[in-house]
Amino acid sequence: MASIGVESIPGARRLIKSLRDMGYEFEAAVADLIDNSIAARASTIRINPHWDGANSFVSIADNGLGMSAQELREALRFGSERDYDDDDLGKFGLGLKTASLSQCKRLVVASRQNESRADINAYCWDMSHIEATNKWEILPVRTADLPEVARLHLKETTGTVVIWQELDRILGYNNPNGEPARRRLIEMCGKLEEHVAMVFHRFLENKVRGKRLAIYFNEHKVMPWDPFVANEPKRKSLEPLSLRVEGHGGRSDIVFEPHVLPAQSMFSSPEAHKRASGPSQWNRQQGFYIYRADRLIQSGGWCSIRTLDEHLKLARIAVFFQPKLDEEFKINVPKMKVAFPAEIRSDLEKAVKIWTKVADETYRNANKTVAGASPPPVPTNPATLVGKATSLKTPASTTTASALAAAAGSSTSIVLASRSGGGVTIEELTRVGKLLKRVAKPDEMQAIDAAVVRAHSTLED
Ligand SMILES: Nc1ncnc2c1ncn2[C@@H]1O[C@H](COP(=O)(O)OP(=O)(O)OP(=O)(O)O)[C@@H](O)[C@H]1O
Ligand SMILES: [Mg+2]
């Protein structure tokens, strides 16, 4: 039967202008291209900003699989089609175009797929052409017209080079040849390196199986920035938590790995403390670090579970989820922000109370020590709390009575101050257990008993 549908093709001129304003920041736009290079199995990515006034450009070159002419034309289509792996960084078929055109008016993509022949395919999206024709047309680009950096790169290896030309958004000045425009490019590139070092740190540290990666920025190697300072001896890693979600894409676990960083005075050196501060500085870097397929989407902040707090700036929690749960995490095209699935929020709130309590105490104790007072005790024995909806475990290395109270859902905050200045005694623990039971609801009794018994046995050990 003949279709009665009438094709309604979007107006290229107007729609492409709107798509330029999707809300990408420069760093996030480059990160989107790096995603593509990783998905194309690149092991080396080279980012080169090139200053030449109005002719300035940024190139991102990889040594991945490259694309045939046909694949390249499809890649440049808005809403391009391909099959995605379970841990694929791509999703929408848009990033290459939307990220690039959010920063520039001319996007050139050159690619070489064949290892034995140095044939290069290249096409471009050119805003002036769209303005003139109002058509969804890409234009072929001759190899001879490519910037030298692209030609040289693809002479050596298969892979893809993305070139951003006519950097109207990056230079952002009426006079793109002027000194302010040059300074702006340099400044943005400084931030870019920091961002890339953070977002892809797991790949740069070779923590992602089968995906070794090196990124060079102007020929200099980007060193990973680890938000959790794994090499600091005084860092505390608390017990991980795993929450299962039935997503639209299938069942999958969200894994939380909470860490409490050392206070300033406990860092191995002032430089190490400064480095750990991160792109947005200590206070704003507290909270969740949310990874989708090992790529960092959101760094810091509490996702409306609580507010930022100076006393909690040592708390950093890694959160890992797989693309199966994209819908539940409400991932969007720029992949800069997500939200937690509603069904895990109440369990997560309980866990956050425990984690932040430890961070708060670590911070306060260190400050007291610095001020010359003897530090109050932080018990070093683990206690396991069996919660209602989920298995919530308190930190493996530290727990406190007040954390127990918080975990049991009590609004009463009980702080144990040991007279001796040593660890918590069995008598004190028993007293806390009794106090907790006074304020607990009937269905919380069992969890408190379990926690106290467990804490007792570890104390006796
Ligand atoms: N560097 C590259 N090497 C090889 N193929 C690439 C590269 N960049 C893009 N592609 C191809 O172009 C397609 C379109 O990329 P684009 O970023 O627009 O969408 P996506 O990665 O599929 O999804 P998303 O919009 O979530 O990023 C990719 O699916 C991939 O097939
Ligand atoms: Mg992509």
What separation in Å is there between the alpha carbon of 95 and the centre of ligand 1?
A: 7
All domains of the chain in start order, with CATH: 12-221 (3.30.565.10), 226-370 (3.30.230), 376-461 (no CATH)
What's residue 437's pLDDT?
65
pLDDT at 402 over 50: no
Residue with tokens 């304003």, as numbered in its chain: 21
Q: Which residues contact 284 (CB under 8 A, 6 or more apart)?
A: 300, 301, 308
147 and 122 Cβ atoms separated by less than 8 Å: no
What's residue 320's pLDDT?
98
What's residue 436's pLDDT?
72
Q: Is the dihedral of CA 418, 420, 422, 426 positive or negative?
A: negative
DSSP 8-state assignment for residue 404: H
Residue with tokens 């990220």, as numbered in its chain: 99
Using DSSP, state whether 456 is helix, strand or coil.
helix
Which is more confidently placed, 386 or 257?
A: 257
87 and 322 Cβ atoms separated by less than 8 Å: yes
Residue with tokens 């001020």, as numbered in its chain: 371
Does pTM top 0.85 for this prediction? no
**pLDDT tier, 377 (very low <50, low <70, confident <90, very high otherwise):** very low
The CA-atom distances, in angstroms, between 23 and each of 103, 165, 194 are 11, 19, 20
DSSP 8-state assignment for residue 244: E
What's residue 398's pLDDT?
32
Q: d(Cα 70, Cα 80) in Å, to the nearest integer? A: 12
Query: Residue 144 — left, alpha, or beta (φ > 0 → left; ψ -120 to 50 → alpha)?
Result: alpha
User: Mean pLDDT across the stretch 386-401?
Assistant: 33
In percent, the amount of the chain with pLDDT more than 70 equals: 80
Q: For the chain, how are helix, strand and coil distributed in percent, rounded to 5?
A: 40, 20, 45
What separation in Å is there between the alpha carbon of 298 and the centre of ligand 1?
A: 21
* 98-100-103 Cα angle (round to 5): 105
Q: Which residues line ligand 1 (CB under 6 A)?
A: 32, 35-37, 40, 62, 64-65, 67, 75, 80, 82, 90-97, 160, 333
Across the chain, what does the average pLDDT equal? 86
Looking at the CA of residue 82, tell me the nearest atom of ligand 1: 29
In percent, the amount of the chain with pLDDT more than 90 equals: 74
User: Mean pLDDT across the stretch 263-286?
Assistant: 96
pLDDT at 459 over 60: no
User: Of the ligands numbered here, which is closest to the C-alpha atom of 333?
Assistant: 1
pLDDT tens, residue by residue, 314-355: 999 999 999 999 999 999 898 888 999 999 999 999 999 999
Q: d(Cα 282, Cα 313) in Å, to the nearest integer? A: 6
**pLDDT tier, 8 (very low <50, low <70, confident <90, very high otherwise):** very high
User: Mean pLDDT across the stretch 433-460?
Assistant: 61
CB burial class (10 A; 0-12, 13-18, 19+) of residue 310? exposed
What separation in Å is there between the alpha carbon of 90 and the centre of ligand 1?
A: 7
Q: d(Cα 74, Cα 358) in Å, to the nearest integer? A: 51
Name the residue of 47, 80, 336 whose CB sits within 8 Å of the most ligand 1 atoms, as the mutation to test its pocket: 80
Residue with tokens 């070139």, as numbered in its chain: 163
What separation in Å is there between the alpha carbon of 128 and the centre of ligand 2?
A: 24
User: Mean pLDDT across the stretch 100-113?
Assistant: 98
User: Mean pLDDT across the stretch 42-46?
Assistant: 98
What's residue 337's pLDDT?
87
Select from 350, 194, 206 the least CA-distant residue to 285: 194
Neighbours of 230 (CB within 10 A): 11
User: Mean pLDDT across the stretch 87-96?
Assistant: 96
Q: d(Cα 181, Cα 176) in Å, to the nearest integer? A: 6
**Tokens for 31?**
């990160």
Who surrounds ion ligand 2 at CB < 5 A?
36, 90, 95
What's residue 428's pLDDT?
63
**Tokens for 216?**
């060079």
pLDDT at 389 over 60: no
pLDDT at 419 over 90: no
What separation in Å is there between the alpha carbon of 79 and the centre of ligand 1?
A: 10
Q: d(Cα 32, Cα 199) in Å, to the nearest integer? A: 11
pLDDT at 209 over 80: yes
Which is more confidently placed, 61 or 398?
A: 61
pLDDT at 304 over 60: yes
What's residue 289's pLDDT?
98
User: Mean pLDDT across the stretch 78-104?
Assistant: 96
Q: d(Cα 279, Cα 274) in Å, to the nearest integer? A: 11
Neighbours of 35 (CB within 10 A): 23
37 and 216 Cβ atoms separated by less than 8 Å: no
Select from 179, 344, 154, 170 the least CA-distant residue to 247: 344
